Amino acid sequence: MKSFQEEYWWDGNKEVKLYRFEIEDFEALKEIRRKVKTVNNFPSVLSQTLMRLKALPMHKIMIDRDGVKLLEEEGSMAFPEISYASVELYDWYGPSPKGRRYSLYINGKLKEEGDIRDLKADVDVAECYGISCGKVRAIVKVIKEKKRSPVSIKGLIEWSKISRVLLREIAYSTIGKALTTNEL
């Protein structure tokens, strides 16, 4: 184990004592989980590893023999252009997760509408319902039925950037996870 801290948090009506552990290997994690009740395993080991390597989500990086380096533009962290899509499904009576018609929004603007059988899109990140997810090609897909947060896909991208947590991990989280990660 690398380190641990005792902290006090307010749980609505009483103060609660918590312990925060920073570990270096999976065996330590297994041992801690056997001995104490774990409440939050966030950010994940993968996100923590990427943070240590300075390979932050939504930032440009360069990998060479010397390791991983963040690329900077004009003195600030580089944030590359990311294409994102949102697919809305509807039927004759209105919005429906099993709708036969779709509206495709790319980077927040309506690109096209039509029959679900004709849907094709190629973006970096997509937010979609079941059948439409199979028609969209994206590096990361966020399934709307499983999403717990009320923010749009653009909001999730911002959460990922700010909290330094992979979009795949934060996509189905609440704002509490992003805030807790920032505090830690």
Helices in 75-170 by DSSP H: which ranges?
130-133, 153-163, 167-170
Helices in 22-138 by DSSP H: which ranges?
26-35, 45-52, 130-133
Q: What percent of the chain has pLDDT over 70?
A: 89
| Mean pLDDT of the 132-156 span | 89
Q: What is the DSSP letter of 178?
A: H
**Measured between alpha carbons, how far is 8 from 19 in angstroms, rounded to an integer?**
9
Encode pLDDT of 76-99 as tens digits. Answer: 555 678 899 999 999 989 888 888
| Mean pLDDT of the 57-63 span | 74
pLDDT at 108 over 50: yes
**Helix 153-163 with 175-183: angle, nearest 10 deg:** 20
Please say whether the beta carbons of 167 and 160 come within 8 A. yes
pLDDT at 110 over 50: yes
Low-confidence winner among 65-74, 125-134, 143-152 (lowest mean pLDDT):
65-74
pLDDT higher at 161 or 25: 161
Q: Is 35 strand, coil or helix?
A: helix
